[in-house]
Structures are given as structure tokens and as C-alpha cells.
Structure 1
Amino acid sequence: MLSSWNKLGHLRNYPRDALLFIAASFVNSTGKAIMWPLTTLYVHNVMGRSYGEAGLIVLYQALCSVFGELVGGNLYYRLGPKILITGSFLISACMLFGIAMTDSWPAYIVFICALGFVNGIALPSLNAYVGFRWKEHRRTLYNLMYVCNNFGLSIGAMVGGLIASISFTLTYLFTGTTTLLFAVFLLLFMRLPSKVDSYKTIDSVQEPEQHIIEGKNETTANEMPVDRRSLLKNVSIYLFLSFGAMFFWISFSLWSTGIAPYIDEQGLDLKFYSLLWTINGLVILLGQPFTSWIKKRFAPTIVRQMFVSALFSALAFTFILFFHEHYIYLVLGMILATFGEMMLLPTIPTFLSERTGVNAPFYMGLTGGFANIGRMIGPLMFGNVYDWWGIVPVILLGTMSSFAALLMFYIHSNLNKKEEWVERLSLMTGTINK
């Protein structure tokens, strides 16, 4: 492992602006993570509401994110990534500052819903931007961005627990500040991808003639014909992938809406909940050699990586279903779940970028919308079930959802068997190994 880390110097082989983008994204994710794992506890402990109502708030936010992702995936062709991304982050910062300055329950609901909507708008554009702007590096950049963002999330979650023990208001102020800085950075330094590159693909679901209009050297985004009905008919590309992502996020929301109140009611300090996310980040950062070996040995294609990732998640939640009485068991469950997360989340934008080409923003918005439905259903379901029956039924439902995700990714992998074999990408070196 040490020899791999010594090769970090090879990161300079990547475009400098790509590394700056990822570094800024890391700072932004760190700031956001200070807030998001504590939403359930904020609603319950500060606002004085039940865990069921806390789940309802997360549902509202996720529902707005669903609409945001669908809107963002379509507006990409009209407005372009720079306006969408910078504008949404500027509005997001304003919403966070608004939450910090109010103690009104109705105002909090309005701000949190608006926050979900504008964050949803940005997500498909961010992923599509990376895939188009640095297409020759996109496989490693998606993975590198995922690692850095999630390490930032873990640092933020750890710091968030400490800040929340002083004041929950500070968490929103800090998150709003980092979001604002990220928006300013993008406004000043973000460059649009080559228009021709944006229409190239490795294995698109459309014919090449449909990507570039004949007789034109460049095609603007709003001139690109997007037949949404035709795209929706191609169910093998997105449908089971989307359902898999939805069930994955239903099960993963167990950590924030089930494990968080369970730890709190066990009399443990908030720092123990934050520590779980710190462990999550450390596993993501240090576990790359292990997941690379898993991919090489058992998951040589992107679609098979999705299936293996779901298998790890199912094992994780099955484990904590039977062993959750002691904190150390939750730590072990988090480690297993993190390995599943590591192999799934970077592969979804990679698969869509390479298989759908110029239509990637549409499919990313669609898939992200399904994922947010999972984020919406999970907290509401787990919050109410926890209020009524406690932790065991919550974990049981989470485990069932993880097996549903496993089934969806299994079907998806069988429908996409003709996908090209994944080139072996080394995160540390940026080289390709066969």
C-alpha cells in the first residue's frame, strides 16, 4: 500500500484544472457533510419534533431533489453547465444562511425544500461536465472525485458532531460559507467542455449521425435534438439501474434515520455517530487497493461492479441485523457497507457517460431522480418505524431493501452483458493496467 501511495506524484499527469475542480469539490463536500448527517437530530433535538417528522422533512427535501435532478438533466441542453451549477450553488448558500437565521418551523421547511431542489439541479450537470470536459480521464476522475468528496464528507461529519455539540446554527453557517466559496470558484475558473467532445461517446445508445448535425463543425446545446420519448424506451440502459440506485439509497438512509437515533438513545455522545462517517471516509481513502483487487478478480465490467457492490451492501445490513447491540458491530457493518458504496457510486456516472454520450445529462438526471426517491422513502419509513417499534424492524427493512437493490443490479448486468471490459485504472498512478 505504501508503494501505491508513493505514486501520488503521478496525479500531476492529470489536467491542472481537473485537479483544482476536484480540490474545490472536496472543500464543498466537507462543508456540506457538517450538516447533512445531523438533520434528523437537529429536527428532533432543536426543533422538538418526532423522528417521524424528521423523516418527513428528509422526504420533502428528497422529493424536491427528484424534481431538481429531472429539471437539471433537461436544462443542461438549454443553459449549459456553468449557469446551472454556479447558479444552483449560489442559491443553495442563500438557503443555508436562511436556515441558520430562523427558528421558525414553516420557514425551515421552505428553506430545506428549496435547498433540495437547487442541489438536485446541480448534480447531473456536475457529473456530465466532468465526463465531457475531461473525457479521456473520466474513469479515473470519477473515482478520484468520489474518493475526495467522500473523504471530505467523513471529515465534515466528524467536525459536524463537534460543532453541533456547541451550536447547530454554526453547522449551517459553515456549510453555507463553503458552498458560497465553491460557487465563486466555479464562476471564476470553470471552463466549458469542447462542443465536439460533448457529442462523442464510446458506446452510445444513439447512432453517431444523431450526435453531430451534418454540415456543422459545432453544435450548441440547445440545438441538439433530444427525443425524450425515444430515450425513455431504452429501458435496458436506465430502468433497472435506476431502481437499483433507489433501493440502495433506501437501505443506506438507515444510517441517518435508524442508527443515528439508536446511538443517541443508547446514551452515546454525538461524536460516536460522527465517528462512523469518519470510518466511512478512511475506508474509502485506504481501501482502494482492496476494491481494485475485487474488481480485477470478480468484477471485470462496470455492470458487474454494480452487482458486487450491492452484494457487499446486502452483507453489511444482514450483519448488523443480527449484530447491533454493541457499537463495534456497527463499525464493522459500516466498513462492509462502505466497500459496497465505493464500487457503486463512481460506476453509475461512468456507465452513463460512456454508453449514452450526449444524452448522459438526461439519463443522469433520470437515474438521480430515482436515487432521490430512495432518499425520500427511506427516512420517512425508517423514522416512523423507529418511533413505533424500535431499531430491529428498521434494520430488517433496510436489509430487505439492500437485497432488492442486489436483484435490480443483477438484472441490469444481464441486460448489458455486451459492455466492453473495464480497463484497469489505477487511482494512484493514473495508468491503465490490463
Structure 2
Amino acid sequence: MSENAGVFATLRATPTPVRYLLGGVLVNQLGAFVQTFILLYLTFRGDSVGIAGLCLAAYSVGSIFGTLAGGELTHRLGPRTTITLSMLASAPLVASIPLVAKTPVVLFLVVGLAGLVTQAYRPAAAVLLSDLMPEEHQVMAFSMMRIALNTGAALAPLIAAGLILVDWDLLFYVDGVTALLYGLLAYLLLPRVTAPEEQEEKSVVDSRAAYSRMARDSKYLAYLAAVFLGTIAYAQSVTALPLEIVADKYPTSLYSAVLTISSVVLITCELKITTYIVKIPAHVAVLAGHLVNSLGFALYALAVHSGTFVVLGAVFAVSGLMIAGPTMFAHPAKFPAAYKSRYIGTMQAVVGLASAIGPLFGVFAFTSLGGAFWIVIALVNGVAGLLAVYGVRQARERVAVGGAV
């Protein structure tokens, strides 16, 4: 493993279709403006904060069900078809948002459906990535996908800033164009990869049997609980941290600096860190990552004394994410083909649910707990780490024995 785990070794081992897949993920993420800007867009148009909030909630709910549906469609139709259909359905929906913005009921429906079909591609992309990459490079491959997503997420606001100067509506037109482009690229460039024996195995496992088995898998349930709690904890970096900075009377530029530093560190360092992470047991990696995360959250509790603790906390928080993230993200792809897409879709639905709940929890808990808030978040994240250790430990042995999950 150690000889084959380097960044350049992984890049050399990356098949051309995976490069197309990651490129499509990046292109799509560069134009992913709905969830980030729908609140600002609607309030700029003069709509109430309540309507804007309901629209964001509709998108979040749609996203949760979309990842579940994406897992099921991937199992039945295959990754390439699912990605293509998801993006081709997403394109007209997001592009029509400016056209229906004056009719709230229609707007809620369109935005909710946009969330559903847009996020349906994620399980398919993860399944295709795991099917195409050699096993020894799986964790590195998922790290590469995370970098593609994070790079797009970091650059998208810069692109949006330029589009807004011309016309707010361009946000959604460009979003539609990038989705359409990704759909076409997926249809033209991505392969069908399901082997005949895999198809035979998948055909005998219906959705009820797959989810019933998942519900009895205590290790995977612990993993999902870890994902849920960890996502809620990390969400506070973009929910409660701005509130902390304002409460401590620091300039808002400090928060902008923290976001920039976090993005740069994540994008430039994750692959290199992953080359070391793949050499240690998975449960050690996820525990170490969560502990480093928790240290970062604890440092935020000292922000009242100096802004330096905000920067240090952000560096530790993102470092913990780089240590634990690739292993956590790759874990569902280790299950047999008959279950893999459903397991991936369920994990991503849990991430969506936690991402929707996290901001609400953060605002309430921050105002209620005061100075103890970040210590509580550090403890919550520590519990997530312990659950993750139980969830991922010896996963390889469990999968290898008769395909058991």
C-alpha cells in the first residue's frame, strides 16, 4: 500500500472515465447557486424572509429525498444513466426559477423538485468512482472527489459575484447550463461498468431486503449516527462561528479570512494528507480526525480573548476534516454491489438532513448555552468520533465474508 498510495501514483492509476467524472462534478459545482443564493435572491426581489426560508427548506427536503432516490435509481439504471437523467432534469428546473419566482406555490414546488433531481446524481457518482478506481486507491479517489466538490464550492461565489453585477437571474440560467453540460458529458463520456455477475447479484436483492439488512447492521447505523452528529458539529463553522465573531466584536473580514484559509488548506493539502491516512487503519484515521476537529471547536471557545483562536480553530477543524473525511466518505462504497448504491444514498441523505438541521440547532444552542456552546459542540463531535470508530472498524473483514454487511 505504501508504495502505491502517493498522489502521483493515484493520478497515474486514475482511468480516463474517472477524470471525466471528476471534471463533470467540478463543472456542475461551479454553477451550483440555488442552495447558496436562493435566500439572497428572493429577499433582493422583495420577498419576505419567511418565503425565502421556506424555499430553502423545500430545496433541503428535496435534496434529502433526492439522494435516497439517486441510490435506488443507480441500483436499477446504473450510474451513467442516473447522472444523465438527474442533470438533464435539473437544468430546466433551476433555469425556470426566475420565471416562477412571483408565484410562491409554484416556486416552492420547482425549488423542491430541483433539490430532488439535482442531488440524485451524488450516489451515482460515488458508485461509479468506486467501480472504476482500483481498490488500493479508493480512499484517495474519494478524496479527489471531495476536492472537486470543495474547489467548485470555493470558486462558485466568485463567479456568482460577477453574475450578480450583471443580473441576478443569470445565477439560475448559468446553473441550468452547467447542469445541462454535465448531463451531456455524462451521456457521451462516462461508461457503463456493471459486470454481468454484478447485475445478477443485484437483481436478487430488492429495495426492501437491502434497507432491512441496513436497519439490522448495527455498525452501519453507528456510522450513520457519526455522520449525522459530525455534520451538525461541522455546520457550526458556518452557522455559529459568524455569530461568535459578531458577539466578540471582531470585524466581519475575520470570518471571510477564516473561510478563505479553510478553503485553501483543504484544497491544497487533503490529497497529501490522504497519502498518509491510507497507511493506517480506518478506525484510527476517523478517531484522530474527529479529535482534531474537536480541538478546533474547543479553540473557538477562546475566541473572546483573541481573534487568533478563531484562525487556529478553523485550521484544526479543517485539518480534522481532511484526516477523517476521505475514509468516512469512502466507507459506504466498500459494500457489495447489491447494496452499495443504497448505502451511499442513505449516507448522503443523512448528510442532507444534518445540514438542514445543523443551522437551526446552532442558532438555538448558541443563544442558549453562551460560552459553553463550543465545548458542547466539541463533545458532540467527540461522540461522533467514537461512533465512527465502531462503525468503520473491521469493515473490510465484514464485507469479505460472504458479502455480509
Q: What TM-score do the two structures reach when normalised by structure 1?
A: 0.75
Closer/same/farther in 2, CA of residues 167 and 363 from structure 1, 3 Å limit:
same
Give deviations 1:41-64, integer Å, cap 9, x for gaps: 4455555544x7765544432222
Corresponding residue to 1:67 among 65, 68, 87: 65
Asked if residue 219 in structure 1 is aligned to residue 195 in structure 2, the reply is: no
Q: 2:231: which partner in 1?
A: 249
User: Is the 8 Å Cα contact of residues 312 and 336 (structure 1) preserved in structure 2?
Assistant: yes
Asked if residue 333 in structure 1 is aligned to residue 313 in structure 2, the reply is: yes
How many angstroms does 1:377 deviate by? 0.9
Amino acid at match of 2:325: L
Amino acid at match of 1:320: Y
Give the whole-Å Cα distance in 2 for the aligned partners of 1:54 and 1:334: 29
- Residue aligned with 1:350, SS: helix
Asked if residue 348 in structure 1 is aligned to residue 328 in structure 2, the reply is: yes
Q: What TM-score do the two structures reach when normalised by structure 2?
A: 0.80
Q: 1:125: which partner in 2?
A: 124
- Residue aligned with 2:200, SS: coil
How many angstroms does 1:17 deviate by? 1.9
Alignment of 1:8-407 (within 5 A): 8=8, 11-32=11-32, 34=33, 36-50=35-49, 56-104=54-102, 105-136=104-135, 137-164=137-164, 167-196=167-196, 199=198, 219=200, 221-225=202-206, 227-228=209-210, 230-259=212-241, 276-288=258-270, 291-292=273-274, 295=277, 300-323=280-303, 330-382=310-362, 389=367, 393=370, 400-407=376-383
Closer/same/farther in 2, CA of residues 100 and 338 from structure 1, 3 Å limit:
farther
What number of residue pairs does the alignment pair up?
388
Give the whole-Å Cα distance in 2 for the aligned partners of 1:316 and 1:191: 42
More deviation in 375-384 or 17-26? 375-384
How many angstroms does 1:27 deviate by? 1.8
How many angstroms does 1:323 deviate by? 0.8
Give deviations 1:291-343, integer Å, cap 9, x for gaps: 348737xx822233222222233222222233168776544433322222223
Question: What's the Cα RMSD here?
Answer: 3.7
Closer/same/farther in 2, CA of residues 261 and 402 from structure 1, 3 Å limit:
closer
Give the whole-Å Cα distance in 1 for the aligned partners of 2:113 and 2:94: 10
More deviation in 223-232 or 84-93? 223-232
Unaligned segments of structure 2, at least 5 residues: 1-5, 398-405
More deviation in 279-288 or 175-184? 279-288
- Residue aligned with 2:195, SS: coil
User: Is the 8 Å Cα contact of residues 26 and 149 (structure 1) preserved in structure 2?
Assistant: yes
How many angstroms does 1:361 deviate by? 0.9
Higher RCO structure, 1 or 2 (CA under 8 Å, sep 6+) = 1
How many angstroms does 1:378 deviate by? 1.6
User: Is the 8 Å Cα contact of residues 248 and 402 (structure 1) preserved in structure 2?
Assistant: no
Amino acid at match of 1:191: P
Give deviations 1:85-114, integer Å, cap 9, x for gaps: 111112222222122334334444323211
Give the whole-Å Cα distance in 2 for the aligned partners of 1:167 and 1:383: 32
How many angstroms does 1:192 deviate by? 1.3
Give the whole-Å Cα distance in 2 for the aligned partners of 1:357 and 1:48: 46
How many angstroms does 1:404 deviate by? 2.1
User: Is the 8 Å Cα contact of residues 309 and 342 (structure 1) preserved in structure 2?
Assistant: yes
- Residue aligned with 1:85, SS: helix
Closer/same/farther in 2, CA of residues 274 and 117 from structure 1, 3 Å limit:
farther
Amino acid at match of 2:347: T
Q: 2:390: which partner in 1?
A: 414
Unaligned segments of structure 1, at least 5 residues: 1-5, 200-217, 422-434
User: Is the 8 Å Cα contact of residues 72 and 365 (structure 1) preserved in structure 2?
Assistant: yes
Quick one: percent identity of the two aligned structures? 19
User: Is the 8 Å Cα contact of residues 22 and 145 (structure 2) preserved in structure 1?
Assistant: yes
Amino acid at match of 2:200: T
How many angstroms does 1:147 deviate by? 1.6
How many angstroms does 1:191 deviate by? 0.7
Amino acid at match of 1:131: S
Give deviations 1:393-422, integer Å, cap 9, x for gaps: 5x965763453242133133135533459x
